[in-house]
Structure 1
């Protein structure tokens, strides 16, 4: 019978319990609950009941890159100390990585060559698996992808022990001389569109008279491609002054 407990970190409660991994060892799983202790305890009971009924043991040889990203996001990214803006940025990168066939590769079969080809495609553009032609992305955009894969593969090595080494350590990020504008219509997903430049300038002019302190987060959101909530959630640890980018 799985044993579990709940604990409070900040304003939110978390629940955790022990399960048996592929090697027969007991490992602790922790997940984010809610701000209510009773609701989190209910989530804990549901999770333990589900585990007991299914007795699901994740076999490392069957895990795909996409599944690894989901596990890392739930167990480490969302429960860590990164700012909300950084977490949302990384979750967005995960969503985009999972659109590429590399996410369907078995973790044990992914090589540095596969990853290098993926990053070269991001950097310089070309023909995507769906047949579409796309331009390369900016340095900051590529660095977000790199950070996600670096940390998730490190997580796969330790503590998860899904693989024995991190293939991302051999990747060399390459950048094109002329970076692509992240705000071009060609690269926008779905119906999301940035505000026109003239509307942005009118907004800044309005704020200069009515609310000057609001100008900086608006500028950051516009030029970095962030949602307002992400811009407001930025912390100094997200600002790399040496590289002049957000991490």
Structure 2
């Protein structure tokens, strides 16, 4: 058990006690500047009791919000959260929470200052999702300080009622068949973006799922497509903080990885003859190009790695065809003529062309919206649509992707008319 030492330095008093050794070296916790010996003894006794209780190398009652958020991020976020979620949390911490609360003591955070902050976010014009994201992140961090750390007795955010913000309706783009035909005419068969566009239109996949597809995922005989992974871009070589701060360098040092689909939404879906025919033609063309380019053709192999939580991930590594790789080859569907991967980043060019040249409202997710809407308009069972899209809950399918279009309204009228046989009720 550490002993408390009180010493006088000049006109002030200082306490000091031994802490646990770090890497075999002695570590002391001390604080000075007390005017009287009694004041120093009281503060030192309290600090020592807190240290013996927590076993930490800082005093919980004195830790700043800034230091605590760093500690929470390192001990919780890096271990429990996915990489992209870590980046999102880090953005909120560095851009919002630290500038506002960083200099506060953690123990001094109370509902009053949190309510004022929440109201100020609303006044500053933050959207509902952004406001809730900031406050929820702070609330989650404070929960961790209550349990398991026990730095504070309760979470002051529990007493904060988020201000009501009028939700701006998010524009959900639904393409007409004529508009999609214009897009396909601009990116015809043989173009690197043709197949990704057809997959989005015919299957409603997320963009990360489409660009993770390999030929093993297509069953031509049974006309099915299997979603068992998604593509993500990240860097394991750098600490996530460094990646966040060095955004320009991040692009140079990052790699593409296979990971589990969102919500682990593994699924096998039926696909139609139109897409099957296009995929067969694409596969045949890729085989011809591989023979044509020979040793200069780019192929991809996958290397098993692990994320911070110990989950398996596979890094996609490009190599020349002339090299005999030890790692297993992965045959991606979305590639260029010379075998190079067509990624979600590459697809930004396609979206830009559709916006600027074709003058159409578009993003890849609009293909997903459109796919769901066409199915529902034409009588598809919502449960089947949910499973096809890989939604965790059917409410997501109904509330987010299924839109009450004029066709749906007319269908409702026609159904009622057919059931009642157009009977005219009179008094």
Q: TM-score, normalised by structure 1?
A: 0.52
Q: Tell me what 2:126 maps to.
A: 136
Distance 2:95 2:207 in 1: 25
Deviation at 1:153, TM superposition (A): 0.7
Residue 157 (structure 1) aligned with residue 146 (structure 2): yes
**1:107-147 CA distance string (max 9 Å, x none):** 1111111111112222x233xxxxxxxx22332x2232223
Q: Tell me what 1:84 maps to.
A: 83
Q: TM-score, normalised by structure 2?
A: 0.32
Distance 2:112 2:97 in 1: 18
Question: What are the equivalent positions in structure 2 for 1:6-45 lying under 5 Å apart?
Answer: 22-25=50-53, 27=55
Distance 1:160 1:171, change over 3 A: same
Q: Which runs of 5+ in 2 are unaligned?
A: 1-19, 24-47, 171-182, 209-231, 235-257, 266-390, 401-427
Distance 1:180 1:100 in 2: 30
Q: Tell me what 2:159 maps to.
A: 170
Question: What are the equivalent positions in structure 2 for 1:48-67 lying under 5 Å apart?
Answer: 57-67=57-67
Distance 1:99 1:166, change over 3 A: closer
Deviation at 1:179, TM superposition (A): 3.7
Q: Tell me what 2:123 maps to.
A: 125
Distance 1:229 1:21 in 2: 46
Distance 2:59 2:119 in 1: 31
Distance 1:112 1:237, change over 3 A: farther
Give 3-state SS (helix, strand or coil) of 1:60's partner: coil
Distance 2:142 2:51 in 1: 19
* 2:66/2:98 contact within 8 Å kept: no
Aligned-residue Cα RMSD (Å) equals 4.0
Give 3-state SS (helix, strand or coil) of 1:104's partner: coil
Q: Tell me what 1:9 maps to.
A: none
* 1:120/1:174 contact within 8 Å kept: yes
Give 3-state SS (helix, strand or coil) of 2:61's partner: helix
Distance 1:176 1:236 in 2: 28
Distance 1:240 1:151 in 2: 23
Q: Tell me what 2:92 maps to.
A: 93
Distance 1:240 1:162, change over 3 A: farther
Higher Cα Rg: structure 1 or 2? 2
Q: Tell me what 1:147 maps to.
A: 136
Which of the numbers 179, 194, 197 marks the counterpart of 1:209? 194
Distance 1:21 1:74, change over 3 A: farther
Give 3-state SS (helix, strand or coil) of 2:68's partner: helix
Deviation at 1:169, TM superposition (A): 0.8
Residue 236 (structure 1) aligned with residue 226 (structure 2): no
* 1:65/1:107 contact within 8 Å kept: yes
Deviation at 1:66, TM superposition (A): 2.0
Q: Which runs of 5+ in 1 are unaligned?
A: 5-19, 28-55, 127-134, 182-201, 219-227
